[in-house]
Amino acid sequence: MFRDLYKQSIKGRFQLQEERRKKLLEEQKRKRFLLQDLQRDADLSDNRHKTKLCAHGGKLGASRALKDAYGSDYTLQLSEWLRDRPVSLDDWAMVPCPKGQRCLLMATNGRTDMYSKAGRKRMTFHTCLPGDNGQRGSKISTLLDCVYSSDQDTFYVLDALIYGNQELIHCEAQFRFFWLRSKFDECHDLAERGINNEKPLILLERLDMENIENVSEALLRFPFFPNNVPELDGLLFYHKESSYTCGSTPLVGWLFVFMVPDVLGYPVNESYQKPSDYTEPLVYMEEFDAKLACKKQRRFRKHSNSAEMDTTETVNCDEDEYAKFDKTENGSLLALLEAERRLEIDEPADQFLTCDVNGGD
């Protein structure tokens, strides 16, 4: 009885998600036009200078990510659950994602730094990216959205915010993907491990949803990556006209592969088995988030109790659970996360699942 009402409530969220997509696309297009006008304008006023500085990661940003090192306000783009088949699926691109640690990769001043999604520096090394190449003092910068696989010690590139000082966050996703493909084709050394490129960077495959044959072939492939290395985590869906959004956006969707037949209507390889508690995608998404919310709340209470006992023991979270919590849609859980950060709980350094999903409805 009540379950039917529960399902109807979930269905209503799809309509909200679709409406937010339309509004966000319109807003992004408006900003692109304003940016084009700004670039045409020869006005060198102080306001214009501040706009350019902020757009290129200057010290005007107030966000936590990268602020300590660069004063930048760039943060990772986070996906939402893809609740239902989009009205026009041809407007989307699919990116199969491996399991690993989501991160930002910044190449500048002759080195490359890896930052966690919370903005903490995790490692420094050398790559062939513009801004590194051993050129200390170089003013060139590159900033990539990546997945780091600790097992392969390899970075898998999802997206680009800046490439060789070319700021890309206001460009459409299909242009960013084209730009990345052309740059990686020009520099094959990026995919190889060597003295000047200590950790390989692999550009992940992009599949245009307009090409049904290629998409169907990919979904029926198992394992997706050769020898199942790395292991496939799930699928990201990018709206081709979307700008890069620092934070959660309905213009990037996330699905586990076993959900695809129910949500999009495409068959997948039978090896992508559904969990035993899976009934239908919308209910599974809600129950999935609810379970993780409970885990997070228990962990937070455990830390609070230990703090009251005046102990110095650090609360260490399992990295997979930490990432899954970030898939939650519950706004109160985000408050818990911020409270946890204020208590200076160390962010786990081990591997966690690829994509953060936030409902936002």
- Which domains are delineated in the chain? 2-263 (3.30.470.30), 281-342 (no CATH)
Model confidence at 131: pLDDT above 50:
yes
Mean pLDDT confidence for 258-285? 94
**Is the CA virtual torsion 236, 242, 245, 247 positive or negative?**
negative
How many percent of the chain have pLDDT more than 90?
Answer: 56
Residue 304 pLDDT class (50, 70, 90 cuts): confident
Would you state the pLDDT for residue 211? 96
Dihedral over alpha carbons 26, 27, 30, 34 (to 10 degrees):
-170
- What does the pLDDT look like over 137-175, one tens digit per residue? 678 899 999 999 999 999 999 999 999 999 999 999 999
- Residues 258 and 278 sit within 8 Å (Cβ to Cβ): yes
Would you state the pLDDT for residue 292? 79
Choice between 214 and 65, residue whose per-residue pLDDT is larger: 214
Residue 119 pLDDT class (50, 70, 90 cuts): confident
Show the DSSP H helices in the chain as ranges: 2-40, 46-55, 67-70, 173-186, 212-219, 260-263, 281-308, 319-325, 331-342
Would you state the pLDDT for residue 115? 94
Model confidence at 68: pLDDT above 50:
no
SS3 316: coil
Question: CA-CA distances (angstroms) from residue 142 to 36, 110, 260?
Answer: 22, 11, 34
Question: Cβ–Cβ contacts within 10 Å for residue 44, how many?
Answer: 8
Choice between 304 and 3, residue whose per-residue pLDDT is larger: 304
Mean pLDDT confidence for 177-182? 97
- Residues 143 and 74 sit within 8 Å (Cβ to Cβ): yes
Distance separating alpha carbons of residues 205 and 177, to the nearest angstrom:
10
Would you state the pLDDT for residue 56? 36
Cα Rg of the chain, angstroms: 21
Residue 44 pLDDT class (50, 70, 90 cuts): very low
Model confidence at 1: pLDDT above 70:
no
Choice between 223 and 343, residue whose per-residue pLDDT is larger: 223
pTM over 0.95: no
**Is the CA virtual torsion 184, 186, 192, 196 positive or negative?**
negative
Would you state the pLDDT for residue 307? 60
Would you state the pLDDT for residue 41? 55
